[in-house]
């Protein structure tokens, strides 16, 4: 099944000012006139979205979290409806950095449902913190997928994107190690099987991404041999040159 390739930049809590955010975004946007086959998404801190959305029609904007409610007495929170209204079309959910604050699969499930109702596409992050000899990480990822996607209809499943992010390979993990395209391939095949058992053929159009210290040097290897439809990029997305190079590699690797 033909699935459009995608590259997602997760800026996390960067940069510090609007000015820097616009400079970085603009540098990427200006270099993307040739992009046809790759969907490019940038997820900045949401308060930058209002200005950034005016700088490019090619780049989709995404958020990095959302509250499952609609409106109401939820101090400090922002809802899916508000993010959609603001101009975002994607939302990263279940990122390991948020899970480390205590977010559970059940919390993430509520957020995914709320996002889908308003038309925001969830990018669900799954992945293990370490690998064990008994391959227990497969069942951990299976549980994450089953619990986070519980009650999602077959009609909605193609709107979800799954990002496999082994936490041990993410750039901010102390003592991190490189994951290989083979690690990604094995997990991508496994995730497809879990999805197909749960959602049948409707899951065939769902995209799976790899994320974990991807850079311009290893992007091609993950795209060619990692069994994925694109990449979720953290640190390297804060460097316009590197990020554009990764998008270029993705574009060239698309059929």
What are the catalytic residues? 95, 165
In DSSP notation, the chain reads ----EEEEEE--S--SSHHHHHHHHHHHHHT-TT--SEEEEEE--GGGHHHHTTT-SSEEEEES--BS-SSSS-TT--BHHHHHHHT--EEEES-HHHHTTT--HHHHHHHHHHHHHHTPEEEEEE--SS--TT-HHHHHHHHHHHHHTTT--TTTGGG-EEEE--GGGSTTSTT-----HHHHHHHHHHHHHHHHHHHGGGGGG-EEEEESS--TTTHHHHHHHS--SEEEESGGGGSHHHHHHHHHHHHHH--
Closer Cβ to ligand PEP, 7 or 152, answer by number: 7
Closest to ligand PEP by CB, 156 vs 237, is: 237
List the beta bridge partners of residue 6. 39, 230
Please count the residues of this chain forming the interface with ligand PEP, following the rule CB under 6 A: 13
Q: Which is nearer to ligand PEP, 156 or 223 (CB)?
A: 223
Q: Which residue number is nearest to ligand PEP in terms of Cβ? A: 234
Quote the CA–CA distance of 136 and 138 in Å, as a whole number: 5
Query: Considering the complex, what minimum distance in angstroms separates the CB of residue 138 from ligand PEP?
Result: 21
x/- site string to ligand PEP, residues 75 to 114, per CB under 6 A? --------------------x-------------------
By CB under 6 A, name the one of 39, 41, 234, 247 that touches ligand PEP: 234
- Binding track, positions 147-186, relative to ligand PEP; x by CB under 6 A: ------------------x----xx---------------
Work out whether 213 is an interface residue with ligand PEP (CB under 6 A). Answer: yes
- Residue 77 or 239: which CB sits closer to ligand PEP? 239
Binds ligand PEP (CB under 6 A): choice among 187, 194, 232, 250: 232
From candidates 235, 240, 246, 247, binder to ligand PEP by CB under 6 A: 235
Footprint of ligand PEP (CB under 6 A): 10, 95, 165, 170-171, 211-214, 232-235
């Amino acid at each position: 099944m033909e699935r459009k390739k995608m590259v997602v930049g997760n800026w996390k809590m960067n940069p510090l000012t609007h000015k820097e955010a616009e400079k970085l975004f603009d540098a990427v946007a200006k270099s993307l006139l040739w992009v046809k086959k790759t969907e490019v998404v940038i997820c900045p801190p949401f308060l930058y979205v209002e200005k950034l959305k005016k700088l490019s029609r090619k780049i989709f904007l995404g958020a990095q979290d959302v509250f499952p409610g609609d409106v109401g007495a939820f101090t400090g929170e922002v809802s899916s409806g508000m993010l959609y209204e603001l101009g975002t079309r994607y939302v990263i959910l279940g990122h390991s950095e948020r899970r480390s604050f205590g977010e559970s699969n059940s919390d993430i499930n509520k957020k995914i449902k709320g996002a889908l109702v308003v038309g925001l596409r969830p990018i669900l992050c799954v992945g293990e913190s370490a690998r064990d000899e008994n391959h227990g990480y497969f069942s951990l990822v299976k549980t994450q997928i089953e619990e986070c996607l519980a009650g999602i209809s077959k009609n909605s499943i193609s709107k979800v994107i799954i990002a496999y992010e082994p936490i041990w390979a993410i750039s901010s993990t102390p003592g991190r190690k490189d994951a290989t395209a083979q690690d990604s391939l094995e997990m991508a095949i496994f995730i497809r099987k879990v999805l197909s058992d749960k959602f049948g053929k409707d899951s065939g159009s769902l995209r799976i991404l790899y994320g974990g210290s991807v850079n311009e040097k290893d992007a091609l290897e993950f795209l060619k041999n990692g069994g994925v439809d694109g990449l979720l990029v953290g640190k390297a997305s804060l460097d316009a040159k590197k990020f554009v190079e990764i998008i270029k590699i993705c574009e060239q690797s698309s059929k």
